[in-house]
Chains A and B, each alone.
Chain A
Amino acid sequence: MTDRADPPETEAGDVRDEARKSRPGGFSMRARIIAIAVATAVLTTVAVVYTVTAARRADSADPPSAFGLDRGQLYFRSTRDGDGAGRVARLAAAASGPSAHGAAAMSAAAAPAPDHRTTGGPSCERFHAAGGTALCLQRRPGIPPASYAVVLDGRLREKRRIALTGIPNRARVSASGRMLSWTMFATGDSYATTSFSTRTSILDTRTGYLIKNMEDIPLILDGRRYHSPDVNYWGVTFARDDNRFYATVSTKGRTYLVEGDMRRWTARTLRENLECPSLSPDNTRLAFKKRVREGARDPWRLYVLDLRTMREHPLAEQRSVDDQAAWLDDHTLGYALPGSGGEGSDIWTVPADGTGSPALRVAGASSPALVR
């Protein structure tokens, strides 16, 4: 290791000057100062050149979106390298539904390259859209970095911007486009804590009423009013009436599915070990991720819960999915998995009834949302 550090010193060293004291390497103070000055200059140059190159690589400004919200389009965050990385893109969603599923799987397996995505949407970390409203979670670097929830209209123009803290995690728009909800990880920039906490907000776009942190909602756990300082909510999904909603609550190391009521502002637990619920378009089923293993290695599996029978079944996806799945229609779920190359992520689909097999839908993408 230290060998790496030696050469500049030897180059500049002047052995005759050595004598004064027993000094490092036996070189004179002057020689050492010169060597360090040279090294500093070289390293500074490397750092500056790299930074300037990286700065030039980055987009200069946020141009207006190249497209709006249109029916029959699959919207997602594109992570593919190139001009559109980190921005929302879209694809025609024609090949969707249970019948088209097999075909989509085959074409994806054969060649993921020919996807004719239109890039140039808003720049977001998380994105979701429905009913003529879109929600975009952004992070802007700075000292300290800032995060925003940006509400966009049907032409993907900014309507409202809410400053937040933490790391964007989940974003959902109700089917009507009225109720928005998002979750941020509040790890801040603290390095030492291994646990994390979440802040989930709900915005009613009709009234403009914003609940910045929903953790004060009165909670009924196993039939009794529950109080604990460590409750955390995440992954909200709204029903068609824009009043009933489902979410995850965690307390004392357990997670529960809660059913909430917006008007009465209460929530009650329905079931244990259920995270990131996502309500089907017909409002009869919840897709969710279930913890099947302790620890950090492949902990989650995708499941669907039938709300009438309260029975759950696993989906054909065998890999661990850490995402709030999105219903592309009443039979198909879309979700993001880490990309094969290690960087970025891909959108996969799987039938909601537990049959079939997962299929790669869009490579280099996350946050799927199909606008109906």
Chain B
Amino acid sequence: MYLATTGAAAATAQVTRGRVAGPVLALGTVSLVTDISSEMVTAVLPLYFVLQLGLSPLQFGFLDGLYNGVTALVRLAGGHAADRGGRHKLVAGTGYALSALSRLGLLLAGGGTAGISAAIAADRIGKGVRTAPRDALISLSSPPDALGRAFGVHRAMDTTGALLGPLAAFALLWATADAYDAVFVVSFCVGLLGVLLLVAFVPGRAALGPVAAPAAGPRVPLRSRIAEPLRDAAFRRIMAAAALLGAATIGDSFVYLLLQKQLDFAVRWFPLLPLGTAAVYLLLAVPAGRLGDRIGRRVPFLFGHAALLAAYLLLLTVGDGTVLLAGVLVLLGVFYAATDGVLMALAGPALPAARQASGMALLQTGQALSRLLAAAGFGAAWTLWGSPAALAIAVVVLAAALAGAAALLPRTERRF
């Protein structure tokens, strides 16, 4: 599936060498299929709400933002539940299934706001629940020295799905003259296929190795159990670095908005900009992961954020349209390729096997919350002082965070 859909020559050679574990490929395929399903819906929801249902964009924004906070909590719970008794596959599968079923909810809700909110909530809860157990499964089924590549392969496949989803959705709308229900039905079918692939090909925790389940331990309050991975000094440093850098990331929507302001090119193509970033991301995810495996994962992680810094500088200084557009899209792609999966590979060895899912949930939640904070701060700065000043502040903050993270991240990574 991966070979067929990406056609990335560099990646092909590595995968065919057969060192990427089967479960990783299976999970990658599940993610690819699921992302097609979810990005299909994501791409058409604003249109569906505003044009088909006549909701005002204000209501849409409200519905959309409503559950972003919930996701963080659910993610922690998902990670915790997966670690208890090694039920990664069950928890992840429940998350995938919930998201798939939410498409039927959209279909059945018709125009009812309550039904739509419930469907969106179900999708977000599903997404929150499955992420950490899935990443823990990837980590548990790969040798520690090849974790970077394992996550790289998974993220490349995942991004391929995200790239194909919107195209599929717009093609469907074009073929059916705006039959949104067809998008929901097809998305449901694709999502269900993802769940079936997971059930059939992803091994349960029992098959992964002799790691003792921690279920029999003494009763500890839930809150301290969720925070338990933080007791490890190395993990604490990784977590702090990720949160620090997250708090200096202004958010993609702002980057695209800045591009739009400065370029004013044929705006019709504007929705396709993120696809350019995704293409770079999927091409570079595997090489970046491999590089991390070889020379230490902090290097690509830090250089990825340096690429983001370069993107901000481009936005601040370059006036020429083509250079700016190409440069920012490529740098943003490099940023994701060098940081997203790499961070999980960086954290994996710092977590005990029985705490993989909860640790990753903690890390992802911390990063997400700090990014939310950064986006809010940048939005406020933009409104108060205008975009150039806000951007200049972002550059300074990111440079400082980068220095801080370089100091925080352990130079010698734990291997086992």
Contact = CB atoms under 8 A, between A and B. Distances in A.
20 contacts: A1-B97, A2-B195, A9-B199, A24-B200, A35-B200, A51-B175, A51-B176, A54-B176, A55-B177, A57-B176, A58-B176, A143-B170, A167-B51, A188-B46, A189-B43, A193-B61, A229-B382, A252-B383, A338-B54, A344-B54
B135 to A, nearest CB: 19
- The A interface, classified by DSSP as helix, strand, loop or mixed, is loop
B209 to A, nearest CB: 11
Interface in B241-281: 251-253, 256-257, 261, 267-272, 274
Nearest to B185: A50
A324 interface: no
B170 A194 contact: no
Nearest to B384: A252
Given A163-B268, A167-B46, A299-B58, A25 B200 contact: yes
Interface in A307-351: 322, 336, 338-339, 341-345
Interface residues of B, number: 80
Contact of A47 (B186, B204, B251): B186
A94 interface: no
Given A2-B97, A58-B179, A141-B178, A167 B200 contact: no
Interface string A163-190: 1011111000000000000000111111
A188 B90 CA distance: 37
Contact of A43 (B46, B61, B192, B382): B192
Contacts of A193: 61, 253, 257
Contacts, number: 208
A103 B63 CA distance: 39
Given A143-B167, A144-B269, 10 more contacts: A1-B93, A24-B89, A35-B196, A54-B176, A55-B176, A163-B268, A165-B270, A167-B57, A191-B64, A229-B382
A296 interface: yes
B101 interface: yes
Interface in B151-177: 166-167, 170-177
A2 B94 contact: yes
Nearest to A36: B200
A145 interface: yes
A145 B167 CA distance: 11
A99 interface: no
Nearest to A191: B42
A56 B83 CA distance: 49
B327 interface: no
A32 B29 CA distance: 15
Interface string A20-63: 01111101000011011001100110110011001101110000
A51 B174 contact: no
B62 A296 contact: yes
A207 interface: no
Given A9-B199, A54-B179, A144 B272 contact: yes
A196 B43 contact: no
Interface string A224-236: 0000111000000
